[in-house]
């Protein structure tokens, strides 16, 4: 693939050395993309991550002061200082941490570096869910009934009567389902508002919340968008993300099973057209809920997704390389066709029954090496799994000619993955993959919760 500085652009920006402001699987994935593009990579790490496999795979590594996220991977000045010291000319934020922080993106640009992601204005506009809903609705994207910011209980009561019950109270900032409160009746609304606002203030620095109609058993469908700085945007089809626990994705796949493909293509094309019209740039993901033939916009993620590998496997487009190329002023790749089926399972260091995190030293950590299976991980044997960071150990991405073959390969890969030292959710993942409803594509966002409530013990592997 052509290097970024060789792309056609009215204002090309040379990218030769990238600071990766992240850790774990995504840091390693970005290192791989840099190596394949012939670029230098700079990784950062705390003492916990000092023995991660990507430390040796990168061009250079720099230790961070501090251990907790706020003192290390979220320390903007420390990261920018390392960027200057290392001679990096670009910063890739990965996902999580500072990836959607408009202030950090602007600091990167003000320092004379290239931010590998959308323009800060889009991080700001789409980072606020209420604002994002308003923008997309004005552009013709369907949305479910919802409110503006809720500032007082009286307004909440008035809006709730219009929307009807059940409804959900959502923080306007952040993501991952944090702070969401489902409300079944009016007398529970005040308590839900208080709880949602408290979580939002603590987690996202803003207590802004809004109300939205609650859909009991929807499908969670998202659309991958690529956009360049020349007014062009394209979609790379959809990802099915309905298998979740605690409103966080657990299993993703593409294409989505059991939904009319023409309807999905229409939504994807509409999303791409809106992004082009708005002047959006780089990668983005439009998240929607689907229920009974209707679809409603939820939010836009202005970064690479954890589940990006699913799309890469069915389209052949390297999304991380495209992020870099587009940030350098490059143009969109050629349109891609769907080929086969891909499914990703997220292997977490947590108990399959309680979903409580598990920490410790990986005494044995042996990912499978199988045909049609790709494993993305930032860990290796002997490394510590710390309570300070996300519990994701690895992503297993299985590709097949059919959905059934992809599922089968994911099952075999999970069984072949040998881990000792921490508990994992492998048994829960296998329980879902073997579920008869899942196998026929009869899925929704409440499926995992129903399995856990069934009372059937999920044995540890």
Cis status, amide bond into 255, omega within 30 of 0: yes
Considering 303, 346, 409, 431, which one is annotated as catalytic? 303
Q: Is 67 left (phi over 0), alpha (psi -120 to 50) or beta?
A: alpha
SS3 content of the chain, % helix, strand, coil (to 5): 35, 25, 40
Residue partners of 151: CB distance under 8 A and separation at least 6: none
* Distance from C-alpha of 323 to C-alpha of 156, rounded to nearest angstrom: 40
Cis status, amide bond into 166, omega within 30 of 0: yes
Residue 159 is given by DSSP the state H
* Distance from C-alpha of 42 to C-alpha of 105, rounded to nearest angstrom: 18
CB atoms within 10 A of CB 288: 25
Give yes or no for a contact between 190 and 243, defined as CB atoms under 8 angstroms apart: no
Give yes or no for a contact between 158 and 303, defined as CB atoms under 8 angstroms apart: no
Q: Which H, E and C letters describe 214-259, residue by residue?
A: CCCCCEEEEEEEEECCCCCEEEEEEEEEEEEECCEEEEEEECCCCC
Give yes or no for a contact between 35 and 106, defined as CB atoms under 8 angstroms apart: no
Considering just the CA atoms, what is the radius of gyration of the chain in Å? 21
The string of DSSP letters for 167-215 reads EEEEESS--TTTT-EEE-SGGGHHHHHHHHHHHHHHHHS---EEEEE--
Let me know if 32 is a catalytic residue: no
Residue partners of 426: CB distance under 8 A and separation at least 6: 347, 352, 414, 417, 419, 461
The phi, psi pair for 86, rounded to 5°, reads -80, -15
Q: Which two tokens stand for residue 367?
A: 């990912």
Which residues are identified as catalytic? 303
């Amino acid at each position: 693939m052509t290097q970024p500085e060789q792309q056609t652009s009215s204002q090309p920006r040379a990218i030769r050395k990238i600071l990766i402001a992240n850790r774990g699987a995504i840091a390693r994935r970005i290192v791989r993309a840099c190596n394949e593009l012939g670029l230098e990579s700079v990784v950062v790490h705390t003492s916990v991550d000092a023995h991660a496999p990507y430390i040796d795979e990168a061009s250079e590594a720099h230790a961070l002061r501090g251990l907790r996220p706020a003192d290390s991977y979220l320390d903007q000045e420390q990261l920018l200082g390392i960027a200057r010291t290392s001679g990096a000319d670009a910063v890739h934020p990965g996902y999580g941490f500072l990836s959607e922080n408009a202030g950090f993106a602007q600091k990167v640009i003000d320092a004379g570096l290239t931010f590998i992601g959308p323009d800060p204005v889009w991080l700001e506009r789409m980072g606020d869910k209420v604002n994002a809903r308003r923008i997309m609705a004005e552009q013709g994207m369907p949305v479910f009934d919802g409110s503006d910011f809720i500032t007082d209980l009286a307004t909440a009561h008035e809006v709730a009567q219009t929307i009807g019950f059940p409804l959900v109270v959502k923080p306007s900032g952040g993501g991952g389902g944090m702070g969401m409160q489902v409300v079944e009746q009016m007398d529970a609304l005040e308590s839900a508002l208080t709880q949602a606002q408290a979580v939002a203030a603590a987690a996202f620095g803003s207590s802004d919340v809004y109300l939205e109609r609650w859909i009991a058993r929807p499908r969670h469908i998202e659309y991958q968008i690529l956009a360049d700085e020349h007014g062009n945007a394209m979609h790379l089809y959809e990802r099915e993300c309905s298998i979740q626990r605690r409103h966080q994705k657990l299993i993703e796949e593409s294409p989505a099973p059991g939904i009319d493909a023409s309807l999905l293509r229409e939504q994807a094309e509409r999303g791409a057209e809106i992004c082009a019209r708005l002047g959006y740039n780089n990668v983005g993901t439009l998240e929607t809920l689907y229920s009974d033939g209707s679809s409603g916009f939820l939010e836009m993620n202005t970064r690479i997704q954890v589940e990006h590998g699913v799309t890469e496997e069915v389209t052949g487009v390297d999304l991380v390389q495209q992020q870099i190329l587009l940030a350098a002023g490059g143009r969109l790749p050629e349109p891609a066709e769907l080929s086969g089926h891909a499914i990703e399972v997220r292997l977490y260091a947590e108990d399959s029954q309680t979903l409580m995190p598990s920490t410790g030293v990986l005494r044995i950590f042996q990912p499978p090496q199988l045909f049609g299976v790709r494993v993305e991980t930032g860990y290796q044997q002997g490394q510590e799994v710390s309570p300070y960071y996300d519990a994701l150990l690895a992503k297993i991405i299985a590709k097949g000619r059919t959905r059934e073959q992809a599922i089968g390969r994911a099952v075999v890969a999970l069984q072949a993955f040998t881990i000792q030292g921490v508990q994992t959710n492998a048994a829960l993942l296998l329980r879902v993959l073997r579920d008869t409803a899942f196998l026929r594509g009869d899925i929704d966002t409440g499926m995992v919760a129903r399995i856990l409530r069934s009372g059937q013990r999920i044995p540890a592997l």
